[in-house]
Amino acid sequence: MRNIIFILALSFASNILYSAIDPAFTDSSKLVKSTTQPAKKEWYQNIQLRGYSQVRYNRFLETNSKLVCEQCDKSIGDNNGIFIRRLRLIFSGQIHPRVYIYIQPDFASSASATALHFGQIRDAYFDLGLNDDNSWRIRIGQSKVPFGFINMQSSQNRLNLDRDDAMNSMVSNERDMGAFLYWAPKEKRELFSKLVSSGLKGSGDYGCFGYGVFNGQTANKPEENNNLHQAIRFTYPIEIGSQIIEPSIQAITGKWTMPTSLLSSKVKYRSDRTYLDERIAATFVLYPQPFGIQAEFTTGTGPRFNKNTDSIESAKIMGGYILMSYRFNVKGQTIIPFVRYVKYDGAKKFEQDARAYNVEEIEVGIEWEPVKQFELVVAYNSATRSFEDYAKQNNQQIGRFLRIQAQVNF
């Protein structure tokens, strides 16, 4: 009997205790809100990892193995085969409401003609937001120079397999060490992002306005003089009904110093090896919905080899390209046929003796994307290329070849 009374008393006391601790204990209809706050994310939990890889073969139906392009794909031409063109990993993230980081190494860089697949930094920068919505921001580090739509457009998104000679002759690998101020209102930043994520082949978010200073000797290279280059760019994507257009204008100015490693022993050049390096360019893009147009033209002054005097001189450069495409879907698969025409009369300052170029090229191709993670491009290229330095004078090559590229996105 005592045990029964003890158990009943203990049960009653327990009910009183739980009622004091939890008001909902005696009334199941009452809900208690949790006061627990979500765990704060550490900065490293905001880091994302993505990347892509491209594997190519360029020698189907080849008619001239001496038709090459040093700045483009080094596996074009004689003694070349299947080639890993790019293998990129991208680490990025908003580690603070006003601080964004971006690091991109490439593990398919070439240390020499016989040493392939070395790791090398392509991008390594951070963005510092200057206001609450980061519409104004400063980018510091090694990044793309804001000059030319096709230069800033990622190779992961680009239709044609290589950038055109005219716009890409401004800076090797499109990048340099510098500091850049960017501005774009929130709605335009969202549109820049949409133009990439929706498969419309956008260039990414480099602001509606960009201005910056950079070394001017190209990425992963030391500065060679005491002069910084300057770049300025204006662009503004406009939605007109179901269409989107984007006109742009951009310019750069500075002084380029020829590295001694790029000078032939008998070529003539200025005593300080330094030349005026400036150009202006205009861009027009009609995003493919379904028909697309992408066109750019540039003109300016830079160092150029002159075979008549065996010297490197300041000379005019000019050229551009036009690319037309048509984007459509078949049973969830994206197909984009395209054609591109390139014309360039100029030089490439970062090649031997500021190598002189005269290029006319046409490329016809098609991109097939059965799933987001895989793309296949087949392109037929026909070109006339003159590329001349002190050792290679009167060097004109004419030829055609069929190219194929498999790309995986992850």
Closest CA to 352 of 270, 261, 271: 261
Report the alpha-carbon distance of residue 105 to residue 119 in Å, rounded: 6
Angle CA(163)–CA(169)–CA(175) in degrees, nearest 5? 80
Residue 40's pLDDT is what? 79
- Identify the bridge partners of residue 369 per DSSP, sorted by sequence position: 334
Spell out the CATH class of 42-409.
Answer: mainly beta
Q: Give the DSSP letter of residue 217.
A: S
Q: In the 8-state DSSP scheme, what is residue 173?
A: G
Give me 239's structure tokens.
């939605």
- The letter for the amino acid at 300 is G
Cβ pair 125, 115 in contact under 8 A: no
Selection from 118, 9, 95 nearest residue 44 by Cα:
95
* Rounded-to-integer distance, Cα 189 and Cα 206, Å: 9
Task: Give the per-residue pLDDT at 36.
Answer: 62
Distance between CA 385 and CA 190 in Å, rounded?
41
**Ranges under pLDDT 70 in the chain:** 1-38, 113
* Pairwise CA distance, residues 400 & 61, whole Å: 7
- pLDDT tens sequence across 223-232: 999 999 999 9
Can you tell me whether residue 160 is helix, strand or coil? coil
For residue 111, the model assigns a pLDDT of 75
Give residue limits of the domains in the chain: 42-409
Query: What digits encode the pLDDT tens for the residues 79-133?
Result: 999 999 999 999 999 999 999 999 999 999 987 767 889 999 999 999 999 999 9
- 84 closest CA partner among 409, 406, 410: 406
Can you tell me the distance from the alpha carbon of 43 to that of 49, in angstroms, rounded to the nearest whole number? 14
**Tokens 């005026």 sit at which residue?**
276
pLDDT, one tens digit per residue, over 160-196 is: 999 999 999 999 999 999 999 999 999 999 999 999 9
Structure-block tokens of residue 391: 């050792």
Global pTM value: 0.88
Contact 182, 149 (CB under 8 A): no
